[in-house]
Amino acid sequence: MLNSALINVMTRAVVKASKGLVRDFSEVDKLQISKKGTANFVTSADLRTEKILMEELAHARKTFGFITEESGTIAAVEREDHVWIIDPIDGTTNFIHAIPYFCISLAAAKKLEDGTMDVIAGVIYDPIHDELFAAEKGQGVELNGHRLRVSSRTEDLLMSTTAPRRSRENFELVQQTFYQVTASGATVRCSGAAALDLAYVAAGRYDAIWYHSLKPWDIAAGMLMVREAGGMVSEINGGDQMLHSGSIIASNGKIHSVLQQLVVAQAA
């Protein structure tokens, strides 16, 4: 069972921050909601959750900075050698519509000399179903204390990706790749929470996911989980800079190259 000091700090933070989310979700129609960009909403719950996470984590690790969805990049109190990567609510649109598929995503990453980040731990918590996914580099990944492995399926595949949105510049590309993958015989869903999608790949629930453009807080924790569960993670073009590019394919490994070929054919 994963029980390091780092995982314990992360787990305590997300569980504490989730308590208000559960209350707000039960009264979602009463939330104060403001529009932030196109099809991207921020709620009072989002901001409060992030605040609680940052307070808890800053107290526990003074040499960790922050990269967050709402507050941006914040330097550490002391000499910075690590960063927390936080998404207080991944799946905000689901949350607003009272759909119970959202989570808190938290990753810890070590800052390397070349400016890149090495994700060393991740926690994804689905507070409605009380499912806590936790991973530590080289130590595996667990769901509520039970070890996870990716699926072994090569047929009857179930995947997830983003829904095509007319308001986004890659609308046609998303449509084309969606069609290409479904035409191959796979069942594809648009669940609405990329971090939770990645955790589901690690758990063997999904066989793969792909996204063309995500943010570091969407994928940092989840991509570690997939790798620790025995799966594969790469950029769509095969590279390894997912946190920088936002391009990602994560799979059980057995179907990775096939899925990559299907998606790359449309992205070219």
Q: pLDDT tens-digit profile of 224-237?
A: 999 999 999 999 99
Statement: residue 33 has pLDDT above 60: no
Range of the domain at 105: 5-147
Calculate mean pLDDT across residues 152-169: 89
Distance, in Å, from the CA atom of 260 to the CA atom of 235, rounded to the nearest integer, reads 9
pLDDT of residue 266: 57
pLDDT of residue 41: 43
pTM of the model: 0.92
Q: pLDDT tens-digit profile of 81-91?
A: 999 999 999 99
**Is 165 in the same domain as 142?**
no
pLDDT of residue 29: 58
Domain boundary among 116, 147, 178: 147
Distance, in Å, from the CA atom of 46 to the CA atom of 77, rounded to the nearest integer, reads 23
Domain count, the chain: 2
Domain boundary among 113, 147, 181: 147
**What CATH number did the domain enclosing 113 receive?**
3.30.540.10
Structure tokens at 102: 């959202």
**Is 98 in the same domain as 77?**
yes
**Is 259 in the same domain as 129?**
no
Q: State the DSSP H helix or E strand holding residue 267, giving kind and residue range, or none if neither.
A: helix 256-267
**Is 169 in the same domain as 48?**
no
157 — pLDDT class (breaks 50, 70, 90):
very high
pLDDT of residue 268: 52
Statement: residue 191 has pLDDT above 70: yes
DSSP 8-state assignment for residue 138: T
